[in-house]
Amino acid sequence: MSVGPNNLDSHEPLTPAMFHVLLALAGEDLHGYAILKEVELRTSGKVKLSTGTLYGIIKRLLADGLIIERRSRPAEANDDERRRYYRLTTQGREVATAEAERMDELLSVARARNLLKRPRPA
């Protein structure tokens, strides 16, 4: 397994699906199923990741150092041994932020050109 480079620019471009996963983890540490649910919920069912896609992404993000597996586990009662919890790293947060800012920039341009009306309520 290779350790990902520290330079943000040398990453391969973030796919939308990867960005969704980073977003999901930006809020809190989650396990795999929870990530799926979070993404589905947030996009109102428009983006539904399958296990194959999700774990391919998780593997990439782990390799690039954007997420890590959390060592500590929740209290006994809620724990399923097979579940692994993932946490966004500082670097991951930076990458997600950079991507979000990039999108924001694009959106501003779109708004200026009247492609978007008003920002929709959250």
Partner 1 sequence: MDATDSRATRFYRALLRLLPFDFRGDFGPEMETVFHEQRKEAARRGGAAGVLRLWWETIVGIFKTAPGEHVAMFTQDAGFALRMMRKNPGYTLAAVLTLGLGIGANSAIFSVVNAVLLKPLPYENGERLVTLQQQAPRAGMLRQPFSVAEINDYRAQSHSLDGLVEYHNMNFILLGRSEPERVETGVVSWNYFDVFGVKPLFGRSFRADDEQPGAPAVLMLSYEYWIRSFGGDPTVVNKKFTMNDRVHTVVGVLPPVPQYPDENDVYMPTTACPFRSRPAFIANRQARMMQVFGRMKPGMSVSQSGADLNAVAANLQRAYPNDYPPAIDYSIRTASLEEELTHNARPTMLVLLGAAGFVLLIACANVANLNLARMVRRERELAVRAALGAGRVRMFRQLLTESSLLAVIGGGLGLLFSWGALNLLVNFATRFTPRAREIHLDSTVLLFTLAVAVLTSVLSGTAPALAARDTVVDGLKEGSAQSTIGIGRRRMRSLLIVAQVAVSFLLLIGAGLMLRSFQKLQHVDPGFQPENVLTMQIGLDFTKYNTNDKQRAFFENFLERVRAQSGVKSAAASMMIPLTNNMQMPGDFQIEGQTPVPGQALPVADFRVVSEGYFDTLHIPVLDGRAFTRIDRPESPLVAVVNHAAARHFWGEQDAVGKRFSLDSGKTWTQIVGVVGNVKQYGLDKDTVDEIYMPLAQSPLLDAIVVVKTSVEPMSVARGIIELLYAVDPNQPAARVRSMEQVRAESVAAPRLTSNLLSLFALLALTIAATGIGGVMALAVGQRRHEIGVRMAIGARPVEILRMVLGQGMALALLGIVLGLLGAFALTRLLQRLLFEVGPTDPLTFVGVAIVLSAATLVACYVPARRAARVDPIIALRVE
Question: Is 29:86 a contact under the CB 8 Å cutoff?
Answer: yes
Cβ at position 68, least distance to partner 1 in Å: 14
Exactly one of 29, 32, 42, 87 binds partner 1 (CB under 8 A); that residue is: 32
Rounded Cα–Cα distance for residues 26 and 94 (Å): 10
Question: Binding of partner 1 at residue 36 (CB under 8 A)?
Answer: yes
Exactly one of 16, 47, 59, 107 binds partner 1 (CB under 8 A); that residue is: 59
Question: Binding of partner 1 at residue 77 (CB under 8 A)?
Answer: no
Question: Is 25:35 a contact under the CB 8 Å cutoff?
Answer: yes
Q: How far apart are the first and last CA of the chain?
A: 40
Question: Binding of partner 1 at residue 73 (CB under 8 A)?
Answer: no
Question: Is 23:40 a contact under the CB 8 Å cutoff?
Answer: no
Question: Binding of partner 1 at residue 14 (CB under 8 A)?
Answer: no
Contact residues for partner 1 (CB under 8 A)? 1-2, 32-33, 36, 48-56, 58-59, 80, 82-84
